[in-house]
Amino acid sequence: MITIIKPDFNQILKAAERIKPYAHRTPVLTSESLNRLTETQVMMKCENLQKVGAFKFRGATNAVYALSEAEAARGVATHSSGNHAQALALAARLRNIPAYIVMPDNAPAVKKSAVKDYGGRITFCEPNQQAREATLARIIAETGAIMIHPYDNALVIVGQGTAALELLEDHLDLDAIIAPVGGGGLLSGTALAATGISPGVRVIGAEPEMADDAYRSLQAGKIIPSLNPQTIADGLLTSLGELTFPIIRDHVEQIVTVSEQAIIKAMRLIWERTKLIIEPSAAVAVGLLLEKKIALSGLKAGIILSGGNVDLDNLPWQSHPH
C-alpha cells in the first residue's frame, strides 16, 4: 500500500532532507537592470539551473525516494511530454528503477530524446487525453508501476515546495514570492513553504492570460478546467487539481494573468540582461513584475524561474518581431 501523506510544511522539510543528495541547491541571483525596470528588488531562484533544467526534478525525486524498497522495485509511471517526464526518468534512473512514460506520438523530437537520454521507457499514444489515460492504465496494470502524477500528488507538491524553502532560507526578508501556475504543483508547494517559514510573505501566482483557469477557479471558488488553452507558456497548459486547488485557495493571495506579449518580452529580457536561459513558463512570473498590474513597487520579491528547457532552433522572437 502506498503511504498517503498530507501536504504540509513538515513534509516540505522532510522532502528537503530526502532530495538533498540528488538535487542542486540552485543559486539566487539578482540583476540591477531587472530591479530598475520592475521597481522591485527581485531575487531570482534559478530552477532553470536545476537538474533536467526545471524545478520538476524536486517533486519527482521526492516521490521516487519516498517509496519503500518493495514499492520502488515496481517502477514509476506517468503521462507527460514535458519537464515532469524528464524529471521522473532521471529520478528513477538515480534510484535504479524503471520509469514508464506515456507520451503523445506527436511530441517534439527534442522532448522524446531527452526522456530517452535519461533512461525513461516511452510508450507512445495518440495525442488526446483519453488515449493517454488508457495507455497509462494499461502500463500500470501490466507492470505494477506506481503512478506519479505531475502535480496532483502530495509528495510532488511538497517536493516542489523545497525551492521556495531554500529561497526563504537565503532571504527571509522577502515581502512576496511569485511562482507561475499551471496544474499548481509549484504554486501550492511554494505557498506551503512560505506559510511555514515566513507566514507574512505574500504568495502570488502568475498565469498566462490565455490559460487562466487558475485565476477563474479562484474567482469561482471551484476548479474550472481549461479547455484547449493556447499559450507560448507550454508548461502551464494544465488545470488545477483536487490537491492543489484548496492549498492555493487558502494560502495564495491572488493569481495575476500575464499577456503573451509580456511573456515573450520578459523571456528575452532575462536572456539579455541576466544571461540565464528561461523557458516561456518561467517568464510569466517576470512578465507579471514588468507589467506592474499589482502594486509591488519598492518591495523585495522572490520569483521562481521555474525552468529553462527551450528549443534553441525555434525561439519566440524569431517569429515575433520586436
- Given the rule CB under 8 A, which residues bind a second copy? 27, 29, 32, 48-49, 51, 53, 268, 271-272, 274-278, 308, 312-313, 315, 317
Give CA–CA dist 256/208, Å, rounded: 8
Q: The C-alpha cell of 56 is what?
A: 520538476
Exposed e or buried b per residue across 17-33, where buried means at least 16 C-beta atoms within 10 angstroms of its C-beta: ebbeebbeebebbebee
Give which of 90, 18, 83 is closest to 48, Cα–Cα: 83
Q: How far is the CB of 280 from a second copy (least distance, A)?
A: 14
Side-chain-side CA neighbours of 120 within 13 Å: the count stands at 32
Give whichever of 53 and 120 is closer to a second copy, judged by the CB atom: 53
Give whichever of 86 and 198 is closer to a second copy, judged by the CB atom: 86
Q: How far is the CB of 49 from a second copy (least distance, A)?
A: 6
Q: How far is the CB of 316 from a second copy (least distance, A)?
A: 11
Give CA–CA dist 254/48, Å, rounded: 24
Write out the E strands in 85-198: 99-104, 121-125, 146-147, 176-180
Give whichever of 86 and 257 is closer to a second copy, judged by the CB atom: 86
Beta-carbon contacts of 266 under 8 Å, excluding residues fewer than 6 positions away, are: 258, 283, 284, 286, 287, 289, 290
Q: How far is the CB of 172 from a second copy (least distance, A)?
A: 20
Give whichever of 6 and 275 is closer to a second copy, judged by the CB atom: 275
Q: How far is the CB of 254 from a second copy (least distance, A)?
A: 29
Position 178, amino acid: I
Give whichever of 20 and 222 is closer to a second copy, judged by the CB atom: 20
Give which of 131, 147, 47, 133 is closest to 92, Cα–Cα: 147
Give whichever of 47 and 209 is closer to a second copy, judged by the CB atom: 47
Q: How far is the CB of 35 from a second copy (least distance, A)?
A: 13
Give whichever of 11 and 306 is closer to a second copy, judged by the CB atom: 306
Give CA–CA dist 53/105, Å, rounded: 23
Angle between helices 56-66 and 83-95 in degrees, nearest 10: 40
Q: How far is the CB of 166 from a second copy (least distance, A)?
A: 14
Give CA–CA dist 151/154, Å, rounded: 8
